[in-house]
Amino acid sequence: MYSYLVTGAAGFIGANYLKHILKKHDNITVAVLDKLTYAGNLGTIAGEIKDPRVTFYKGDIGNEELVSHIFLTHGITHVVNFAAESHVDRSIENPQIFLETNILGTQTLLECAVHAWKTGRDGQGYPTYRTGVKFLQVSTDEVYGSLAQTYPEGRDHEEFGTIFGADFFTEDTPLDPHSPYSASKASADLLVQSYADTFHLPVNITRCSNNYGPCHFPEKLIPLMIKNVLEGKKLPVYGDGRNVRDWLYVEDHARAIDLVVQKGRPGEVYNVGGHNEAQNITIVKLIISTVARLMEENPAYQQVLTTDHAHINESLITFVQDRLGHDARYAIDPAKIKKELGWYPETSFEVGIEKTIRWYLENQKWVREVVSGDYQHYYESMY
């Protein structure tokens, strides 16, 4: 049996990962640690926390006493750290909490891991660890900064699979974060690497591109646009809408993390992405046309609308002030994880986006629950 500590599992990717590993592995127990911030919703993992293999702790990854208690109580063998403040716009408004959670919180987990797993010292004075131990830090492609967008010059290009520049992020791309969020994630990555170098802690870092899919908090581009289309609200597109992101269905990311936990070589970084670049404006137009089509195909979906379905068209698009320091293009080279671990994305964007939109249409209660409270005040203060 292995004993996992999964942090941030009430959030978007952590929840999808928790569902994946509980289905896939019989030989695990899971302690979930989540602070339940505005982005953490216990309802997302209501079924999973009833599973006798799962113990839920509401708390902060920076709470050393609590984290040590979890390590000791459960004999943790694997840590998968999703917990983070994850929204770039919020990091521009209020960076402090990003430093506290993403940097200091990660350092607390690392410190507890070193103490909990140490069995002695080797001939050179380095700590030795119990076997089966692993620390996986879930990081992001944003730590690499931004790539040049050279194609097609200054135009919209709506074909999926278009490559917008000659360069890609590889694991050797130097860290060059631009936002307080990405700077905090890069700092955490450096700390994780320092614990590998200093204490020989068996770590991995995964750096994934933009995720989309079910249970995505509706402040991020795709779920926000879906929600606003259904409500007949304006669709705020930053700048000229030509910034490029590289989209991956969340279950493909969950599978990649699971593979790295099982088979990743200690100390290694793995980039995760599916060569699915698109300009933001293309994504927004695709959401509008897909929602409109689903409404026509299945009139029962029209009950979800708080607007007339005739109003679902591109006139909802509103170009607004650009994000400060807005990165132009992200694009991952996933060659290493494909070659070493045999990972590949299973869900095309066309299939994934329709599944995602259907999920939101069929889970309006979830949407209502997560947007009440803090998020509502935040959203209202922004627009």
Residues 260-299 touching ligand DAU, rule: CB under 6 A, are: 280
User: Residue length, the chain?
Assistant: 383
Q: Which residues of 118-143 are buried (b: 16+ CB within 10 A; e: fewer)?
A: beeeeeeeebebeeebbbbbbbbbbb
Question: Strand, helix or coil at 58?
Answer: strand
Binding flag, residue 37, ligand DAU (CB under 6 A)? no
Binding flag, residue 178, ligand DAU (CB under 6 A)? no
Nearer to ligand DAU, 137 or 243 (CB): 243
Which one of residues 3, 77, 86, 228 is an interface residue with ligand NAD (CB under 6 A)?
86
Binding flag, residue 140, ligand NAD (CB under 6 A)? yes
Which one of residues 18, 83, 221, 370 is an interface residue with ligand NAD (CB under 6 A)?
83
Residue 245 interface partner, choices ligand NAD, ligand DAU, none, CB cut-off 5-8 Å depending on type: ligand DAU
- Minimal distance in Å, beta carbon 368 to ligand DAU? 19
Binding flag, residue 34, ligand DAU (CB under 6 A)? no
Q: Which stretch binds ligand NAD (CB under 6 A): 45-53, 55-63, 110-118, 360-368?
A: 55-63
Q: ω into residue 266 within 30 of 0, thus cis?
A: no
181 catalytic per annotation: yes
Cα 133 from Cα 255, distance rounded (Å): 19
CA distances from residue 358 to 56, 178, 230, 232, 241 in whole angstroms, order as listed: 29, 34, 12, 17, 25
The helix, strand and coil proportions of the chain, stated in percent and rounded to the nearest 5, come to 45, 20, 35
For 259-298, give the secondary structure using H, E and C.
HHHHHCCCCCEEEECCCCEEEHHHHHHHHHHHHHHHHHHC
Q: Which stretch binds ligand DAU (CB under 6 A): 29-37, 107-115, 232-240, 345-353?
A: 232-240
176 catalytic per annotation: no
Residue 80 interface partner, choices ligand DAU, ligand NAD, none, CB cut-off 5-8 Å depending on type: none
CA distances from residue 372 to 39, 54, 77 in whole angstroms, order as listed: 11, 27, 37
Q: Which residues bind ligand NAD (CB under 6 A)?
A: 7-8, 10-14, 33-37, 39-40, 60-62, 82-86, 101, 105, 138, 140, 185, 208, 210-211, 217
User: Which residues are known to be catalytic?
Assistant: 141-142, 181
